[in-house]
Homo-oligomer: A and B are copies of this chain.
Amino acid sequence: MAARSNTIGVSEEIALYEFRNMTEQNLHHTIALLTRTPAALEALLRDLPETWTLRNEGENTWSAFDVVGHLIHAERTDWMPRVKKLLQFGETEAFGPFDRWGHVRECQGKSLAQLLDEFARVRSESLDELRALKLRPEDLERRGRHPAFGAVTLSQLLATWAAHDLTHLHQISRVMAHQYRQAVGPWSAYLGVLQCAGHSSP
């Protein structure tokens, strides 16, 4: 019994191996997605007519242009700053609040082309910083404190960064499709994107 309490059994070793493998894979998958988002937005939006990129879904909603500004703002103030805060302070200090309208300043006087360039640059810088941390599987279980949720893991924060890209790609495709709501005539009934309940929220 004494020997058993000092070692781990085979099944526990396998579980630990699987856990490490899973979290390592998740980090790899997360970075793979985060790397591609700027190029996907570039391919979709660069030089696209403004009817697609500057129109929104109505008052207090965002256009594709606004969303790119929001992604830049989140890159600057949210993702890597939170990662670093979590690693430095753990649960002792909560993440700062995030300004959902912070992109208004970010976008001021800029063209969509400038925002796309800027997003590609800041994302690339963030990923350089993230890779330089050389995170180990056990680091991904370290905890920080979210002002609303309480304890969150680094793994959850990084997964959210990737899912946040997807939420905004989802939003951009919905906002753009909304511009053709009338133009498609009776087909609107068949187009899932026009039924999306996320209308006017990110």
Contact = CB atoms under 8 A, between A and B. Distances in A.
Given A33-B48, A48-B33, A202-B192, A170 B160 contact: no
Interface string A25-58: 1101100110011011111110111011000000
Nearest to A187: B160
B40 A44 contact: yes
A192 B187 CA distance: 25
A176 B180 contact: no
Interface string A176-189: 11001001111100
A8 interface: no
A14 interface: no
Contacts of A146: 186
A167 interface: yes
A155 B187 CA distance: 12
A39 B49 contact: no
A149 B186 CA distance: 7
A194 B159 CA distance: 13
A123 B192 CA distance: 22
Contacts of A194: 163, 167
